[in-house]
Structure 1
Amino acid sequence: METTAEFLRSLGVVIYADGRRRWPEEVKARIVAETLEPGVTVNSVAAKYGVRANHISEWRRLAKDGKLVLPVAAPSDEATVFAPLVMCEPEPPLARQLSEPSDGSLRLLIGDVAVELDADTPAVRIAEIVHALGAPS
């Protein structure tokens, strides 16, 4: 069974005589990626690698700030699911016209709907009718 020091050296970690360690960026990134797996805690990963949890938390902050590039996640065993996309032609815009017939009344045409109003119909009422028919403003 290999010791923690042998395990870390196999990963490329440099261990100095005074106990300090120099962690390669790719090892830090791999350790941080492990902490992001569902159900895994920073403390459990720290124990596995013999490092303090606050060091891993600092590496996680570096990754969050974009200063430590994490490895690509392994593909999931779950099937990829796509949502269906239905494309259709957009409906033509509603035709909106306000014309004045020869008898002095107003004719409002919105799409297939025609509304005839007295010539003295207030503009506010015309706006309310247009709004009620759902015509774009």
Structure 2
Amino acid sequence: MCAKTAFLRSLGVEVHASGQRRWPEEVKGRIVAESLEPGATVNAVAARYGIQPNQLTAWQRKAKDGALVLPAPEPEADDAVFAPLVVCDAPE
């Protein structure tokens, strides 16, 4: 088994003997989200996962139309919110 096939299977992609692949919706969403990151290109992300750029563009279109759910963005360190802590003396 080649490294690319092992990588894809580790993501949950079904790889058939004919070479056909069945991508889980969650994985498609993560790949689309990765392609939308600042500085990312469709060609580079598609090459990383061994898919054609037009396939990734089709998944992006599905996401835009609401047919593919993207994962929630990871909160950044600057987005941390702190609540004030009020300490009172114990009642007598």
- Normalization by structure 1: what TM-score? 0.55
**Counterparts of 2:79 and 2:15, CA distance in 1:** 43
Contiguous gaps of at least 5 residues in structure 1? 81-137
The structure showing larger relative contact order (alpha-carbon pairs under 8 Å, at least 6 residues apart) is 2
- Normalization by structure 2: what TM-score? 0.81
The Cα shift of 1:58 comes to 0.2
Aligned to 2:26: 26
CA distances 1:61-113 after superposition (whole Å, capped 9, x unpaired): 00000000000001123357xxxxxxxxxxxxxxxxxxxxxxxxxxxxxxxxx
Contiguous gaps of at least 5 residues in structure 2? 81-92
Question: Is the alpha carbon distance of 1:79 and 1:11 closer, same or farther for their aligned partners in structure 2, counting shifts above 3 Å?
Answer: closer
Structure 1 stretch 2-11 or stretch 55-64: which is displaced more?
2-11
Select the structure of larger CA radius of gyration.
1
Say which structure is richer in helix: 2
Q: Percent identity?
A: 58
Aligned to 1:17: 17
Say which structure is richer in strand: 1
Aligned to 1:6: 6
How well do the aligned residues superpose, as a CA RMSD in angstroms? 1.3
- When the two structures are aligned, how many residues end up with a matched partner? 79
Written as runs of structure 1 = structure 2, the 5 A alignment for 1:1-137 is: 3-79=3-79
